[in-house]
Structure 1
Amino acid sequence: MTTENATSDQDVSQKLKSLELTQRPEHSPTGRFIYWAGVVFALLHIYFNTLGTWSELYVSAIHFGGFAMLCALMVPMIRQGSAARQKLALVLDILLGLAAIVCALYLIGFEDELYDRGVKFAQWDWVFSICAIFIALEMARRTTGWFIPCLILTALTYVFWWGPYIDGIFGFAGLSLETLLYRSYFSSEGMFGQIARISWTYVFMFILFGAFLVKSGAGDFIIELSRCAAGRFVGGPGFVAVLGSGLMGSVSGSSVANTVSTGVITIPLMRKAGFPARFSAGVEAAASTGGQLMPPVMGAGAFIMASYTQISYLDIIAVAALPALLYFLSVGFFVRVEAMRSHAKAVELDTRPIGEVFKEGWHFLLPLVALVTLLIYGFTPTYAAGLSIISVIVSSWLSKHPMGIRDIFDALSQGSKNMATTAMLLISVGLVVNVVAMTGIGNTFSLMVTEWAGGSLLMTLALVALASLILGMGLPVTAAYIVLATLSAPALYNLMAESRLIDLMVSGQLPEAARMIFMLAAPDKLSLLEAPMSEAQAISMLALVPSDFMGQLMDQAIPAESLSMILVSAHMIIFWLSQDSNVTPPVCLTAFAAAAIAKTPPMATGFTAWKVAKGLYIVPLLFAYTSFIGGDTAEVLTIFVFAVFGLYAFTGFMEGYLEGPLNIVLRLGCALAAVGLLWPHNMLIINLSALAVFIAIFLFSRKSISHA
């Protein structure tokens, strides 16, 4: 091994160590406490989400206190050193965890007294509110590094200190420190606000659901089923990675955990089949990242999106399914092309017939069926998740290894452990979201993005993608999505709605009620609305409408259901682009995890994963410029089918290979075909012509390789 590779492996090991949750031995007194505290805390959350009627603010405080205690013990302040240093670290961690619990109890016990004083802080109010924020910062530092604490401190100090010293659009008159602490700690707007509520409801219940599925043996069944379905095809181990990672990610919601759990199987299989090591790791990283996009969990994104948009969770996962399938197909196309180029061979995986595997493990699908059925019948996601957890236990009794009491306790404890760092991350980010709401900086940022983009939707998408990559270097995916959605979703939504409005004006289909608004804004040009107009005329007329009337114009011109889907599309774009930090250097922990398994250079692996995961950038363009989300069934399926071939054509252009090598002319032909299949021109003849070109190139590449 070269010195460079050795150094790279050390860097990867350090990165991966930062992702490990439990740093203290499981059988030590501390480890046993973590285990049983996790069990108790999971049961408490099940009660809160099903039968409990406690105040949401109080439950959020308990959620903070308990998981801060778990996080303090699981991720020690000092991870290496002498026995004396370790004992000191344990004492400090216990004190910090106890302080978090006391902060939660203080809020519950003394909130009413604060309001009796007219919201005037007493001495202990100052102490506990500052202490709670400090604990949130420290937990964020332990789990994700210094970026999030620095971001939070910058946001908080902007409110009461340096905001008034800034000129221009980001200037802020400032609020008192007392007001800031009240809104951050005592109110339902800050660290115990909407994001914390999402954490202890949707996110916790589905992470717990995933822990029960894995403990029941569903994870092994998924891998075995994937190997049976795809393992014996040419390049089959690559398809196993794609299929297995997609299925595992649909319930795990963590791209790194997905990579580690499936990569140890799929990466060696891909290398055995003849795939290059770096490509094998890149495919695993890209496929595992897609697990964040696949319903029902979507890495907590679906729950946060439902809360932000006020659109049902069921509707969101329904529209997310086909785009996620597109992404996995795009990764699969890279696998197919590389299999042909590398002459990858089929590998005998010693698998049983797929029917036999399915017959033995079909019951693992019952909890997912129960979950979807409950959601369709109108149960809340949290209640549906609670009942689905019970269905996991019951369905496991149909297997060779039924879950007993100990298995149930293990799953409860593991669910709490898996949630600990996520809970502290979400609670901490809630402080930033609160500052954005208090200061109005979100609207300012949206206006700034719109101004920089010059009203161009494509330029806005590019700016959001750049911002997501920069934020992703220091923030985990979920946090990056929350921050970006808070800042840029309004601008993206407005531009997409205006684009739809312009389409209606160009086609002459503007409703009569919307024309009345133009009568007030531009009465001399009202005659233009009687017939189809050019896009330039529509844009110039729209510019005459005062901003105060723009919202009303959109409500009158575009049906409420369509506006809702535009809002979902805007959030889905941001959510997809937020995933790019998983596979984009210089900080791409999913690719680093795959590189550690494949023993390949981390950065080189990151660039390979970035190439294979190009669907992360292409599919959001369909969200922005087509009716892929929110269109009727025929329209959505048409877009989907042409997009499948478009992504395959794009892969041929990127790789210069399909069934055989492509010369420069054929490669450019693939590029043109991809544009024709993916571009939102709404002209079927162009789609069909582009499809014919791609099929001709595909057949020619196959013919040329057979002659060779």
Structure 2
Amino acid sequence: MTSSSSQTAESQEINLDDFETQHRSGPWLNRFIFTLSVLLAVAHIYINTIATLPELWVSAFHFAGFGSLCALLIPANPNWRNSKLAMYFDGAIVLSLVIMVFYIIFFEDALYERGVTFNTSDWVVSCVTVLIALELIRRTSGWFIPLLIVIALSYVVLWGQWLGGMFTFPGLSLETLMYRSFFSTDGMFGSISRISWSFVFMFILFGAFLVKSGAGDFIIDLSRSLASKMIGGPGFVAVLGSGLMGSVSGSSVANTVSTGVITIPLMKKAGFPARFSAGIEAAASTGGQLMPPVMGAGAFIMASYTQVSYVTIIGVAAIPALLYFLSVGFFVRVEAKRSKVIATEEDNDIVISEVLKSGWHHAIPLTVLVTLLVQGFTPTYAAGISVLAVIAASLLSKTHRMGPVEILDAMAQGAKNMSTTAVLLVGIGLVVNVISTTGVGNTFSILISDWAGGSLFFTLLLVAIASLILGMGLPVTASYIVLGTLSAPAIFNLIAESQLLEMMSNGSLPEAASAVFMLVDPASLASLAQGMPMEEAAALLAQVPSDFKGMLIDQSLGAQSVAMILVTAHMIIFWLSQDSNVTPPVCLTAFAAAAIAKTPPMLTGVTAWKLAKGLYIVPLLMAYTPLIGGDTETLLRLTFFGIFGLYALVAAMEGYLEDKLSIFLRAMMLAASIMMLWPALALWIQVIGLILFLYVFVIGHKSYSLKS
């Protein structure tokens, strides 16, 4: 493969600017980092396609490689970037990580020959590795996660036995804890690490290749050409562009920075208020992590937790993501009407036929990816072939043909993008290990259920509050992992039991499941066959021993429904985990957008929080309706009324639709929204809500609007 002849000699040189360290300058160090990045990418491609190595070895190598890269890229302190002491310290970290890998490979068997009894070298290597993980996470994510890890580890060996009540834990020896944390596949080199070096890395690499091939520019130009003629066109460019970019990049902050530098100035120039422009970009970029096929790392972790295929998860995630982006788009349209936004000259100059003619080949890799996934190939294999498809498709481009230099540059950039994520996921495995070892997850789920009084709504409210608090210190992926481990069982049980109660009340309980109630109340079998009032069904279900409830749910709902309920529980938590991106006081996505728009960060965060209301509405629909895993007819109905219900809600919140709305009309829109979105209401009530919305949209504002 050769580069385009139109490229200059300067463009053929390796771009090392992206790899210039914050520690100190020097071409030798930049080239070393670049070489290390490329080698890590090549090694991971080999591991994910050809090699058959023990997972513990691969996870250790994964952490050592990206941990070394992270140590060289991110300073321990910004003021030490030119310090020789910092250089020696980072060199010691790199050397220690290399030693750690060889130690696991060559001395793991000796540990088992001693009956899993630690000697001095076991203690030194394991403890130093954990300390390095804490330091690297501190550099990339601040103090919160290291403190969380320390609290979790000390709970196991020290203060858990001093607690009273449900969270009392008798404790484990430090030796047992370090073994489970370091040598076993339950700790930092466990399932979360495996997801990191397989699915997550391959898709981050795929995203890096797409960006290098010019797909990012194509997405922005395509969005501008599609949205330029719409009311509020520049705002829709942000929604479309950020959604498409986010579906590949999987990082809301990176999405904001990469697309916001184009979309925010466009929105401001067209007449949108600066703070609104930043808020739209933040809300849309946050939604990028909800958009298939990548969904950040969440889709892969969800697949691992639920044992449901990755293809199924991205399939059921599509409609909720569509509803979210439409809700953001409705805010754009309403504000465009209010601010009298006009299309910019630059957008009018972009012709969709020209954009497609010059960039249609960028669709080839995504088509290959989706086709392979649908055909049943593993995500890692599909991502690997799709990377090759990016290279092949780039040969059809006149400006972004990928030759050897560009391929190496993309591999290095992908490795750099992965470094902080890899360190974080490996480190958070220590917390997950503590949760599973101590049973805190089940205890926390029981506690949530008790606090919520068995109410699904209040359970979701508590999880939302917990996600916001955790999100102040944890990145979205880590927040989802912790919350998913802690609270998914509680949400799953409540949704499953609500469906079970509905079957008991309408007499559709299978005969095999009815037999379970003979242990509780044999006289109830006749009532179950005919159907019983919901209150009686709830009282009867409460008498079933907890050990039998799982079996009862499986027999009543079936394996497919149970799997979808589990996916629903995790999808709800994953969505709620996104709210920290746009919710003050810590909302990094909104802060990044504010920096571009030059608006007050906290006020921008408040605006973004308002514009991202779909993060709360759509999970409620997931919990109370079969929006995840429902049949085609049900999904079409939910989507149809959901779209109009969200639009009505936006109009009620903003007090504006096609014109300014009176208080009476705002109340009508709020009522219409509730009628269409409230899951327990009948179809005829939803139809009435739709009629109310259409009345205000078509007729009402002309007669009753308060003219400004």
Give the structure-2-normalised TM-score. Answer: 0.95
- The answer for the alignment partner of 1:508 in structure 2 is 507
Give 1:374's aligned amino acid. Answer: L
Once residues 110 and 453 of structure 1 are traced to their aligned partners in structure 2, the CA distance between those partners, rounded to angstroms, is 49
- The answer for the alignment partner of 2:527 in structure 1 is 528
- The answer for the alignment partner of 1:152 in structure 2 is 149
- The answer for the alignment partner of 1:121 in structure 2 is 118
- The answer for the alignment partner of 1:266 in structure 2 is 263
- The answer for the alignment partner of 2:614 in structure 1 is 615
Contact 1:24 1:30 in 2 (8 A): no
Once the 2 structures are TM-superposed, how far is the Cα of residue 27 of structure 1 from its aligned partner?
Answer: 5.9
Secondary structure, aligned partner of 1:334? helix
Deviations 1:1-58 (A, max 9, x none): xxxxxxxxxxxxxxxxxx9995257863222111110000000000000001001110
Deviations 1:585-618 (A, max 9, x none): 0000000000000000000000000000000000
- The answer for the alignment partner of 1:217 in structure 2 is 214
Contact 2:661 2:706 in 1 (8 A): no
Give 2:672's aligned amino acid. Answer: A
Change (3 A) 1:585 1:707: closer
Once residues 479 and 117 of structure 2 are traced to their aligned partners in structure 1, the CA distance between those partners, rounded to angstroms, is 35
Contact 1:314 1:376 in 2 (8 A): yes
Give 1:677's aligned amino acid. Answer: M
Contact 2:660 2:707 in 1 (8 A): no
Aligned pair 1:585/2:584, yes or no? yes
- The answer for the alignment partner of 1:557 in structure 2 is 556
Once residues 86 and 156 of structure 2 are traced to their aligned partners in structure 1, the CA distance between those partners, rounded to angstroms, is 34
Contact 1:492 1:570 in 2 (8 A): yes
- The answer for the alignment partner of 2:651 in structure 1 is 652
Contact 1:231 1:348 in 2 (8 A): no
Which of 300, 324, 345 is the aligned partner of 1:303? Answer: 300
Query: 1:409-420, aligned counterparts within 5 Å?
Result: 409-420=408-419
Give 1:211's aligned amino acid. Answer: A
Contact 1:259 1:593 in 2 (8 A): yes
Secondary structure, aligned partner of 2:531? coil
Once residues 318 and 259 of structure 1 are traced to their aligned partners in structure 2, the CA distance between those partners, rounded to angstroms, is 25
Once residues 523 and 36 of structure 2 are traced to their aligned partners in structure 1, the CA distance between those partners, rounded to angstroms, is 72
Secondary structure, aligned partner of 1:52? coil
Once residues 537 and 70 of structure 1 are traced to their aligned partners in structure 2, the CA distance between those partners, rounded to angstroms, is 61
Contact 2:675 2:681 in 1 (8 A): no
- The answer for the alignment partner of 1:408 in structure 2 is 407
Deviations 1:208-236 (A, max 9, x none): 00000000000000000000000232210
Aligned residues: 688
Give 1:646's aligned amino acid. Answer: G
* Pairwise CA RMSD: 1.5
Aligned pair 1:240/2:250, yes or no? no
Give 1:318's aligned amino acid. Answer: G
Deviations 1:334-375 (A, max 9, x none): 000001111111222253320121121111011111011111
Change (3 A) 1:21 1:289: farther
Deviations 1:60-92 (A, max 9, x none): 000011111000000011322584xx2221221
Which range moves more in the overlay, 645-654 or 340-349? 340-349
Which of 361, 370, 373 is the aligned partner of 1:372? Answer: 370
Query: 1:462-611, aligned counterparts within 5 Å?
Result: 462-611=461-610
Once the 2 structures are TM-superposed, how far is the Cα of residue 530 of structure 1 from its aligned partner?
Answer: 2.3
Once residues 483 and 655 of structure 1 are traced to their aligned partners in structure 2, the CA distance between those partners, rounded to angstroms, is 35
Aligned pair 1:187/2:184, yes or no? yes
Once residues 64 and 149 of structure 1 are traced to their aligned partners in structure 2, the CA distance between those partners, rounded to angstroms, is 16
Which of 311, 314, 322 is the aligned partner of 1:314? Answer: 311
Once residues 235 and 146 of structure 1 are traced to their aligned partners in structure 2, the CA distance between those partners, rounded to angstroms, is 41
Once residues 509 and 398 of structure 1 are traced to their aligned partners in structure 2, the CA distance between those partners, rounded to angstroms, is 58
Once the 2 structures are TM-superposed, how far is the Cα of residue 702 of structure 1 from its aligned partner?
Answer: 4.7
Secondary structure, aligned partner of 2:272? coil
Contact 2:467 2:483 in 1 (8 A): yes
Deviations 1:184-215 (A, max 9, x none): 00000000000000000000000000000000
Once residues 633 and 452 of structure 2 are traced to their aligned partners in structure 1, the CA distance between those partners, rounded to angstroms, is 33
Change (3 A) 1:462 1:22: farther
- The answer for the alignment partner of 1:78 in structure 2 is 77
Which runs of no fewer than 5 residues in structure 1 stay unpaired?
1-18
Once the 2 structures are TM-superposed, how far is the Cα of residue 109 of structure 1 from its aligned partner?
Answer: 1.2
Change (3 A) 1:362 1:149: same
Once residues 698 and 536 of structure 2 are traced to their aligned partners in structure 1, the CA distance between those partners, rounded to angstroms, is 45
Secondary structure, aligned partner of 1:501? helix
Give 2:508's aligned amino acid. Answer: Q
Once residues 26 and 655 of structure 1 are traced to their aligned partners in structure 2, the CA distance between those partners, rounded to angstroms, is 51
Change (3 A) 1:81 1:133: closer
- The answer for the alignment partner of 2:387 in structure 1 is 389
Which range moves more in the overlay, 536-545 or 238-247? 536-545
Secondary structure, aligned partner of 2:345? coil
- The answer for the alignment partner of 1:110 in structure 2 is 107
- The answer for the alignment partner of 1:257 in structure 2 is 254
Contact 1:660 1:701 in 2 (8 A): no
Once residues 581 and 26 of structure 1 are traced to their aligned partners in structure 2, the CA distance between those partners, rounded to angstroms, is 35
- The answer for the alignment partner of 1:440 in structure 2 is 439
Give 2:428's aligned amino acid. Answer: V
Secondary structure, aligned partner of 1:403? coil
Give 1:379's aligned amino acid. Answer: F
Stretches of 4+ aligned residues off by more than 6 angstroms: 705-708
Once the 2 structures are TM-superposed, how far is the Cα of residue 119 of structure 1 from its aligned partner?
Answer: 0.6
Once residues 661 and 517 of structure 1 are traced to their aligned partners in structure 2, the CA distance between those partners, rounded to angstroms, is 59
Which runs of no fewer than 5 residues in structure 2 stay unpaired?
1-17
Secondary structure, aligned partner of 2:77? coil
Once residues 398 and 703 of structure 1 are traced to their aligned partners in structure 2, the CA distance between those partners, rounded to angstroms, is 53
Aligned pair 1:56/2:55, yes or no? yes
Aligned pair 1:96/2:104, yes or no? no
Once residues 444 and 143 of structure 1 are traced to their aligned partners in structure 2, the CA distance between those partners, rounded to angstroms, is 31
Contact 2:80 2:86 in 1 (8 A): no
